[in-house]
């Protein structure tokens, strides 16, 4: 595993002073409860979602594709990232990086590179 992050989300009050990092083969969450690692092989989908509160005000209950989720910070109240996993007890993680769109973009690029490497090894 690489020791140098590709992208690091600064710890801010939005993230409850937690840090979120993207590496070349995984995402790491430094949380108040310890470190959580999600290997790229386990990532099904990543998206940016508006505040749950804003959705409720508009009448959107966010029930489409509902999964119970682990919320690492203020994700209910702010624009946040939704990471869906294929394995583990927790299949959805919601978190608020300093810039959700930039985090998603960096993760999409890293996932593409990783998956291309994996396909090249098999073929």
Distance, CA of 29 to CA of 63 (rounded, Å): 26
Can you list the alpha helix ranges (DSSP code H) found in the chain? 52-58, 100-122
pLDDT tens per residue across span 11-34: 899 999 999 999 999 999 998 889
**Tell me, what's the pLDDT at 40?**
98
Cα four-point dihedral sign 87, 88, 94, 98: negative
Distance, CA of 39 to CA of 23 (rounded, Å): 9
What's the alpha-carbon Rg for the chain, to the nearest Å? 15
**Tell me, what's the pLDDT at 68?**
76
**Tell me, what's the pLDDT at 120?**
81
pLDDT in tens, the chain (123 residues): 558 999 999 989 999 999 999 999 999 999 888 999 999 999 999 999 888 655 555 554 444 565 678 889 888 888 999 999 999 888 999 999 999 999 999 999 999 999 999 888 765
Question: Torsion over CA of 9, 15, 16 and 17, rounded to 10 degrees?
Answer: 10
Ordered domains of the chain (ranges, CATH): 7-122 (2.30.29.30)
């Amino acid at each position: 595993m690489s020791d140098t992050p590709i992208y690091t989300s600064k710890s801010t009050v939005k993230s409850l002073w937690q840090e979120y990092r993207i590496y070349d083969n995984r995402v790491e969450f430094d949380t108040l409860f310890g470190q959580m690692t999600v290997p790229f092989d386990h990532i099904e989908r990543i998206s940016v979602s508006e505040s749950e509160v804003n959705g409720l005000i508009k009448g959107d209950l966010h029930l489409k594709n509902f999964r119970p989720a682990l919320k690492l910070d203020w994700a209910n109240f702010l624009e946040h990232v939704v990471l869906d996993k294929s394995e583990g007890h927790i299949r959805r993680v919601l978190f608020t990086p300093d810039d959700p769109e930039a985090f998603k973009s960096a993760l999409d690029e890293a996932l593409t590179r990783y998956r291309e490497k994996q396909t090249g090894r098999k073929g």
